[in-house]
Amino acid sequence: MEGRGIGYPVAQLAHVEIYTPKPEETLWFFTELLGMEKLEQRGQSVYLRAYEDYYTYSLKVTERAAPGLGHVAWRTASKEALDECARQLEGTPYGLGWSDGDMGEGPAYRVRTPDGHVMELVWELEYYQAPDGQKSLLRSRPQRRPLRGIPVRRIDHVNLMCKEVGPNKQFFMDHLGFRLREAKIGHGGVEVGAWLSVSPLVHEVACMRDSKGRGNRLHHIAYWYGYPQHIFDVADACPDYGIRIETGPGKHGTTQAYFMYVFEPGGNRVELFGDTGYLIFDPDWKTVVWDVANESDLERSSIWFGGRLPESFYTYGTPDDEAAAPERRQAS
């Protein structure tokens, strides 16, 4: 591939499926605190959307004994791109074959990353049609802003904890056309983090080293606000609603975005993104490399100013042996 002139097989992040042992409380978190809409329940799963998601949903929450990642769905750049990706991956150790597709989507081809995370590639996705009384006069907005919680606008990215960053980063680059936007290199040149994207966003997916060496775990999913005040609003509400803040609000060095990390009641880490950080329009971008063996670089890359990330950020992922989230106090 030479520059955006050729384009990417993958166009965007479509939705993510997470597991939770506490479906009711997890649902409370996403609908009442983050203002998402519950669309419907199918078996052990509920489908949720943010008010600026254009497709039917961006989050599928499935009940399981332990929290973690179900799968990540990517929309390809075209029908042809989907078929081509499937053709290339079929018969490799990564290809898992076609599925009929989930709610609101057409045929999907499933793959497994070297680390084991399940990715889904899909072209056909239903656009959300807001019911009467919930439409917006703002023609680019799929539904009006809800008056519930501090409503997130759209899904932003997913961060995968991997045994080794290298092969997984390479998988996204070689097979799905992602570009390496930022990278963290630790002692002995070992890769500890990779931020990859197929758009000017710094990342739609990140691969992060699992300090516990387990791999195939979820570090976090992220939803986007676009206005910094809203992560401070969520932060203000969390202590009073029994939601544990891991760290933030703050500003990342990687991505430059305002962030906050919390744990939804099921135990999964959720990041809230306050702005877009910086955008990469350069078709010939040189990866930004942080040498985190260097103390200052480690701090700056994680939190550009004011503080450092807690140990849990490097060791906790889902599933995990410890529970991250406290019992949630009665919410009204």
Strand partners, 120: 73, 110
Evaluate whether 332 touches 29 at the Cβ level (below 8 Å): no
User: Would you say the C-alpha torsion 270, 275, 280, 281 has a positive or negative sign?
Assistant: positive
Number of chain positions touching a second copy (CB under 8 A): 90
CA 315 to chain centre: 18
Cis amide leading into 142 (omega within 30): no
Stretch that binds a second copy, among 1-9, 110-118, 264-272, 319-327 (CB under 8 A): 1-9
Look at residues 224, 295, 298 and name the one whose alpha carbon lies nearest to residue 258: 224
Near a second copy in 240-279, by CB under 8 A: 240-241, 245, 247-251, 253-256, 258, 260, 275-276, 278-279
Which residue in the set 304, 312, 314, 323 belongs to the binding site for a second copy (CB under 8 A)? 304
Stretch that binds a second copy, among 59-67, 141-149, 186-194, 318-326 (CB under 8 A): 141-149
Look at residues 85, 65, 29, 54 and name the one whose alpha carbon lies nearest to residue 221: 29
Shortest reach from residue 329's CB to a second copy, in Å: 7
Binding of residue 302 to a second copy (CB under 8 A): no
Alpha-carbon distance of 171 to 198, in angstroms, equals: 14
Which residue in the set 24, 40, 80, 174 belongs to the binding site for a second copy (CB under 8 A)? 80
Binding of residue 132 to a second copy (CB under 8 A): yes
Among residues 253 and 266, whose Cβ is nearest to a second copy? Answer: 253
Among residues 100 and 284, whose Cβ is nearest to a second copy? Answer: 284
Binding of residue 97 to a second copy (CB under 8 A): no
Near a second copy in 155-194, by CB under 8 A: 182
Binding of residue 115 to a second copy (CB under 8 A): no
Binding of residue 201 to a second copy (CB under 8 A): yes
Alpha-carbon distance of 66 to 318, in angstroms, equals: 8
Shortest reach from residue 209's CB to a second copy, in Å: 19
DSSP string, 68-100: EEEEEEEEESSHHHHHHHHHHHTTSTTEEEEE-
Which residue in the set 103, 166, 232, 315 belongs to the binding site for a second copy (CB under 8 A)? 232
Alpha-carbon distance of 83 to 79, in angstroms, equals: 6
Shortest reach from residue 48's CB to a second copy, in Å: 16
